[in-house]
Structure 1
Amino acid sequence: MRATINTIGQYEGQTVTLGCWLANKRSSGKIAFLQLRDGTGYIQGVVAKDEIGESDFQQAKDMGQESSLYVTGEVRADDRAPSGYELTVHDVEIIQDTQDYPITPKEHGTEFLMDHRHLWIRSSRQHAILKIRDVIIQATYRFFKENGFTKIDPPILTANSAEGTTNLFHTKYFDEDAFLSQSGQLYLEAAALAFKRVFSFGPTFRAEKSKTRRHLIEFWMIEPEMAFCDHEESLDIQEAYVVAITQAVLEEAKAELQTLGRDLAPLENIQAPFPRIRYDEAIERLQKKGFDISWGEDLGAPHETEIASQFEKPVFITHYPQAIKAFYMKPEPGNPDVALCADLIAPEGYGEIIGGSERIDDYELLAERFKEHQLSEEAYQWYLELRQYGSVPHSGFGLGLERTVAWLSGTEHVRETIPFPRLLNRLYP
């Protein structure tokens, strides 16, 4: 009967057939040990010459790394095996004998591995990272469904920018200018006024010429928007969401975390509430640590890392100066120079994973912001009309999937947290 490695325990003592690839092998006299993978897990197949015959045994020994095959054998419990089981092989049917596989157990440079990303994702480490990504994605859909959110898909081609910046990819939309979306937020605000709680989950594009370990050109964002929701309630929802995906990874990706050698203690500590400090306090903390930074300046990666190091959980930095934040952020009542916003900074030096704010819900104030930021009222007329017809207090946030995968998996660079990364100098494969 056909089986998969992740369900192999159901067939202890039975004979099964696996469709798999040869990840590695070693032999000792009349016994060969095949490290097999089938996309769901790894298992060792033990091949004895006396069991399958000399010709088939020699063929099994000579197979190259990543050869594809059908393996039939008896499932046996083995406490020493990572999966708890191994396969006593009775028959090997080679589908393709692969020779000279480019990625070998020796050390390879990053550029070489990135050039062979289509093959590199087969390795145990890359496989584990991308499985953790999948767990986060599945947990995301569960969380928002359980909390009354409707999935909305904003357009990828847009006529304007959500952030009012110039870091956009330009294209032609027949005889009009268009841009690849850097955020679905504006459209989600419209949807929130129709469905109350909505979220999107899709690719975003930012033409930033950055080479840091935290940046990609194309990345995936989870963006919820909530009507009748103020800044503080939004922070509570952000906390609950981050706790939910962290717990999902701890519970559903144990094997993958083990493969990566991830220290679980910091993740097990991720419980609400998270500490919340105002931007003013963050600046004071940084100045006390010797950083040359003044009120009104934005925080960079070193600043975020320092603040995060002072806490054991993710930390919210709230109430940034309005001048360094987006035009749509609502000012703090009685303090118009400060925005009702927050960035969530992950522990262990992984930086900002969420940015969010309460949105301006007043028509006149938003129209004024358009003028201050020199935004086209014609292009944004539909967005302004949301404040004209049934405007309500509303808030939202965006979580960067790849940065979150990097943090939860303990991966240093975001290029390993997406199947095929798009970087400043990389569009292949």
Structure 2
Amino acid sequence: MKITISEVNKHVGEEVTIGAWLANKRSSGKIAFLQLRDGTGFMQGVVVKAEVGEDVFQLAKSTTQESSLYVTGVVREDERSPFGYELTVTNVELIHAAVDYPITPKEHGTEFLMDHRHLWLRSKRQHAVMKVRNEIIRATYEFFNENGFTKIDPPILTGSAPEGTTELFHTKYFDEDAYLSQSGQLYMEAAAMALGKVFSFGPTFRAEKSKTRRHLIEFWMIEPEMAFCEFEDNLQVQENYVSHVVQSVLKNCSLELNTLGRDLSKLENIKAPFPRITYDDALKFLHEKGFDDIQWGDDFGAPHETAIAESYDKPVFITHYPTSLKPFYMQPDPNREDVVLCADLIAPEGYGEIIGGSERIHDNDLLQKRVKEHELDPETYKWYLELRKYGSVPHSGFGLGLERTVAWISGVEHVRETIPFPRLLNRLYP
């Protein structure tokens, strides 16, 4: 019977065959331990010389790292194994012998591993990160589907920019200028006016020359948009969504989180509601902590966000940023025109902003005024302005960066490990 490693719990005591690669091995004179992987998981196969033919034992001992095999054996429960099971091998069939596999069990430098990303993905750690990423994606669809959202796919090629063109990749769309999308938000607002509650999930691009551990050139965004939704409603959706995702990963990826050495107690605490602090109060806090260089109207950088987050054991909302710091479409606070009804959600443990969101301007005159103030072309944004002309309503939305969220939940240091093939400032290969 041919099965996968993920299915062995259903076949204890039975003889099965697993198609696998040899991740690693060790052997003595009379026993060989094969570390097997098949994409669904990792499992140890034990080959005892006295229990198999000489040819099988010699093949097990001589097979090289990352060679592909069909391994037959009896599934046994094993409390010593993190996986909980091992395979008592009865036969090994070589499919393909790998020669001089470049990523050996020794330490390798980051650049070397990135050059071999197509192979590095096979490692136990990278496998665990990708499984956590997959669970976050699964839980995302689950949350929004269960809460009445419709998935909408905004275009990747756009003729305008939601937040200015300085960080966009420019291209030609036949005889017109076009840009790779940095956000689907404006299109999602149009979709919300048609379908009420919508979300998108797709690639976005920023031509930002950043080399920090939080930045990618190409990354994935989850962008919900909700009609008849005001600022406070928006925050509640965000904290419920993030709580759902974290608890789903805890429930379904415990083995992977243990492989990554993640402190589970820090994730178990991530449940709504989340604490909130205004920009003004955050600024006072930073001054008390010795950050004298930052003044009202300045944006917070990574050290500032980290200092604020360290005061909480959950993600924290920083709300009501100065109007001058934020994009043209954000709704001003009705009590203070110098700040907007927005929030950034800062993850704990130094992982920085994972969500940016706001209530959107729904007044046509005010939005037209903002377009002029930001020196944007009214003709380019004509369709967007028309959303306020024909049945405008209060509406809100947000964007969650998938890779930063994966990094935080996984506990990995750099976002380059959170996407299968990262696009970085100086990396377009492989």
Task: State the partner residue of 1:391.
Answer: 392
User: What's 1:233 paired with?
Assistant: 233
Instruction: Supply the distance in 1 between the matched residues of 2:197 and 2:13 (Cα, whole angstroms).
Output: 51
Give CA deviations for 1:233-259 in whole Å, capped at 9, x if unaligned. 000000000000000010000000000
Residues 1:362 and 2:371 are matched in the alignment: no
Structure 2 equivalent of residue 133 of structure 1: 133
- Per-residue CA distance 1:209-265 (angstroms, 9 max, x = gap): 000000000000000000000001000000000000000010000000000000011
Are positions 1:110 and 2:105 aligned together? no
Deviation at 1:41, TM superposition (A): 1.1
AA at the equivalent of 2:333: E
Matched, 1:31 2:34: no
Aligned-partner Cα distance in 2 for 1:373–1:227: 25
Matches within 5 A, 1:273-422: 273-291=273-291, 292-422=293-423
What is aligned with 2:101? Answer: 101
Quote the residue 1:262 is aligned against: 262
Give, in angstroms, the shift of residue 142 of structure 1. Answer: 0.2
Deviation at 1:51, TM superposition (A): 2.8
- After the TM superposition, which of the residue ranges 281-290 and 48-57 deviates more from structure 2? 48-57
Runs of 4+ in 1 over 3 A off after TM superposition: none
Q: Deviation of residue 160 (structure 1)? A: 0.5
Aligned residues: 429
Distance in 2 (alpha carbons) for counterparts of 1:281 and 1:300: 16
AA aligned to 1:164 is G
Q: How does 1:246-261 map to 2 (within 5 A)?
A: 246-261=246-261
Matches for 1:186-201 after TM superposition, within 5 Å: 186-201=186-201
TM-score by length of 1: 0.99
Q: Partners of 1:46 and 1:130 in 2: how far apart?
A: 27
TM superposition shift of 1:169: 0.3
1:49-104, Cα deviation, whole Å (9 max, x unpaired):
23332222112211110100000111111111222111111111100111211001
Q: Which runs of 5+ in 1 are unaligned?
A: none
**C-alpha distance in structure 2 between counterparts of 1:9 and 1:264, whole Å:** 24
Q: What is the CA–CA distance in structure 2 between the aligned matches of 1:351 and 1:52, rounded to whole Å? A: 54
Paired-residue identity, %: 73
Which blocks of at least 5 consecutive residues in structure 2 are unaligned? none
TM-score, with structure 2 as normaliser: 0.99
Deviation at 1:15, TM superposition (A): 0.5
Counterpart residue number, 1:88: 88
Task: Tell me if structure 2 keeps the 8 A contact 1:164–1:327.
Answer: no
Once the two structures are overlaid, the 10-residue window that deviates more, 32-41 or 142-151, is 32-41
Provide, for residues 309-340 of structure 1, a one-character-per-residue CA deviation record: whole Å limited to 9, x for no partner.
Answer: 01111100000000010000000003111100
Equivalences for 1:154-233 in 2 at 5 Å?
A: 154-233=154-233
In structure 1, how many angstroms separate the alpha carbons of the residues matched to 2:358 and 2:163? 13
In the TM superposition, residue 42 of structure 1 has moved relative to its aligned partner by 1.2
Q: 2:182 & 2:82 partners in 1: Cα distance?
A: 42
CA contact (8 A) 1:103 1:120 kept: yes
Q: Corresponding residue for 2:57?
A: 57
The one-letter amino acid of 1:361's match is H
**Cα distance in 1, alignment partners of residues 14 and 271 from structure 2:** 43
Cα deviations by residue, 1:7-58 (Å, 9 ceiling, x for unpaired): 1011111110000000111111121111111111111111122333222211
Alpha-carbon separation, structure 2, partners of 1:121 and 1:167: 30
State how far apart, in whole Å, the 2-side matches of 1:198 and 1:56 are: 57
TM-superposed CA distance for 1:377, in Å, is 0.5
* RMSD over aligned Cα atoms: 0.7
Give CA deviations for 1:116-163 in whole Å, capped at 9, x if unaligned. 000000000000011000000000000000000000000000001011
Residue identity matched to 2:393: V
For 1:66 and 1:152, the matched residues in 2 are separated by: 41
Aligned to 2:18, the other structure's residue is in SS state strand
Bigger drift between 394-403 and 156-165 goes to 156-165
Partner Cα separation in structure 2 for residue 22 and residue 319 of structure 1: 54
Looking at structure 2, the residues matched to 405 and 43 of structure 1 have their Cα atoms a distance apart, in angstroms, of 25
Contact in 2 for aligned 1:63/1:99 (Cα 8 Å): no
Instruction: Give distance in 2, aligned partners of 1:234 and 1:349.
Output: 24
CA distance in 1 between partners of 2:165 and 2:333 (Å): 23
Alpha-carbon separation, structure 2, partners of 1:213 and 1:76? 42
Can you list the C-alpha shifts for 1:168-188, whole angstroms capped at 9, x where unaligned? 001111111100000000000
